[in-house]
Amino acid sequence: MAVFGLAVADLTDRAEMPAADAEAPAEDSATPSEAGEPTVQIRALSSDGAGVGKLADGRVIFVPRTAPGDTVRVRITHGKPRWARGKLRELIVPSPYRVAPACPYYEECGGCTLQHVAYPQQLHWKGDTVREALRRIAGVDVALPEVVPSPRERGYRSRMTFTLIRLPGGRVVAGLHHLAVPHRIVDVDEGCILPEPAVASAWTALRKAWGEGARRLPSGRKLRLTLRAVDEGVILVVQGGQGPGRPDILLREVEGLVAVWADTPKGAKRLLAGLKHVHDTRFEETLPTGPTTFLQVNREASEALHRWVVEQARVSAGERVVDAYCGVGLYGRELARLGAHVVGLERDPDATRSARTAAPEGFTVLAGAVEDRMAEALPADLVILNPPRTGVDARVTEALQVAGPPRLIYASCDPATLARDIGRLSSSYEVEEVRAFDLFPQTAHVEVVVVLKRTAAEPQSE
């Protein structure tokens, strides 16, 4: 039976063939078919969810929409000295892990990558992804981490972004990027399995309401349309284009739509119509939110992650905590209510305002980049890091090595940058606990939380 292994690429070139794949057994070799298209046994999944096999010449080949255990015939679409990418041409022997995709757009759409893989195996693969990233990039060996499943495998996203392209003759294509040709857009109407019901309903209604050529939206060839569920309903954020369009008509004709915003190229947000102030309730706390304020898209799965982080914090009254990249302050606010003195660090103005709104005693927020303000927030008994996908700035890990706390909790949405940063901290910290959370079923993304404890004493000043 095939193993859900991982092909993790080095951060300097994620497309390069991983060294681990060079050790594949001989039976994974491919043999050319009569049509000149190789037959490949798929034995693993790569970090982007593509199946991984091996060609007769020793190169690793990545084939989207395949699963470990498949025997497939492929057409090579890109070739390099050490690796190749291919397109599935024929499923010869299906994997026992394979299931029928639920989405009618799955064959071409790049929004999901793992719908063809049974959900328990998606979870197993994500745990292996985390373990292998830590091993290869950070040099840290850990047991296969638990991956907490999402309560919902479909209909879990509270926020969806679609791309709209206006074509000659008044035609409009609006949806998600094509799997094989990213500059193409797959037209997505009803049937996408990712959004929450309110967001899906608003998207269907919006397509009907925007009129011929989408004339009721801002003008311009290309727009990015983000629909976001909030307590009051759904808001629409339009990025790109010129002019307001007719947001008043959209509000009237799209049931549940409560506001239309424009997000300008310079990052300014302009209300075009509807409610200026909206709210989002998370973990029994209602906070004001801006049109682009970051919150996890999977509400239910993120609650399990949140509770585990708070549990691992194990704060006592009077302890000092730094909540870095704190966003709206969900961790910091709760830890302050448990008696800790928490300093939040956040650069986004909307998130900073939300975090400061009705903040509990003991929680303060410093506005600015974490790398600019971490040193003044230290010392602390605990630091929580929850950075964007790019990970933390090197200046942050340097500050933590010099004057970091006894314990760190690092929450990440990218195992590779997480592992890079843990590698940077390895002279001062060691991994104590790892747990993953599936906030993005049907995709290759996984959220990871690592608890680290300090092993090196703080340097003594001369």
In a 10 Å sphere around its CB, with 0-12 CB exposed, 13-18 middle and 19+ buried, how is residue 393 labelled? middle
Contact indicator for 438, 152 with CB cutoff of 8 Å: no
Q: Which of these is catalytic: 109, 112, 192, 413?
A: 413
Task: Report which DSSP code applies to 137.
Answer: I
State the Cα–Cα distance between residues 162 and 187, nearest whole angstrom.
Answer: 10
Q: For residue 391, which of 409, 360, 414 has the smallest C-alpha distance?
A: 414
Q: For residue 451, which of 215, 142, 167 has the smallest C-alpha distance?
A: 142
Look up residue 334 and give its amino acid.
Answer: E
Known active-site residue 413: yes
Phi then psi dihedrals of residue 216, to 5 deg: -85, 0
Q: Give the 3-state secondary structure of residue 62.
A: strand
Contact indicator for 58, 84 with CB cutoff of 8 Å: no
At which residue do the structure tokens 């892990």 appear?
97
Give the Å distances, CA to CA, from 27 to 41, 70, 96.
8, 13, 18
Give me the sign of the Cα torsion angle 91, 94, 100, 106. negative
The residues annotated with a catalytic role in the active site are 413
